[in-house]
Amino acid sequence: MKKILALIFVLIATLLSTVNAQTSTDEAVKAYINAEKAYADATLELQRIDLRKQKKALIQKAVPMSEEQGKAFWPMYEKYEKELIKVNDTRLAMINEYAKNYESMTDEKAAELIMRAMDFQDKRFALRKSYLGDLKNILPPKMVARLLQLENQMDLLIDLQIASEVPLVK
């Protein structure tokens, strides 16, 4: 009887250690996945920051301004960029939602994402139009045209990069 109880005790202990090991493994996998996501998010944010710095440097080179024009333009540009970040954050959220639902995409989710994509385009266009109205008050038309060309070219490059990395709906 003692041998049977000892055997049962050993089996229960083994079972519990296996469950604990499995739980620890599951927790480790979850922690790894969370760390991997945090790393990817941080990397993406650094890339976005770097892209904004490159964009600003390009504008500085391609659109030379007088000191007076620069004093009026750069605060307006910074405000525009802050608003653009918010608009672009909605696109990032939409892409993340698309990725999350990629394997199990339903017609309803696809329709929702289509509307969100259109909303993103509308908001970006409205923001640019507002920016244009502000620019026309401080810079000559040819300079405004050059700035808008640069904005459009950079957006097209970014859009192309994103489009090339996002797979088509199954």
pLDDT per position as a tens digit, 5-49: 565 666 566 655 655 655 667 776 666 566 665 656 666 676 778
State the burial class of residue 154 (Cβ atoms within 10 Å of its Cβ: 0-12, 13-18, 19+): middle
Q: Which of 128, 34, 30 is nearest to 83 (CA)?
A: 128
- What percentage of the chain reaches a pLDDT higher than 90? 68
DSSP string, 31-43: HHHHHHHHHHHHH
Q: In Å, how far from its chain's centre is CA 2?
A: 63
Give the residue, 10 or 92, on which the prediction is more confident. Answer: 92
Residue 79 to residue 138: CA distance in whole angstroms: 15
Instruction: Output b/e per residue, 86-121; b: 16+ Cβ within 10 A.
Output: ebbeebbebbeebeeeeeeeeeebeeebeebeeebe
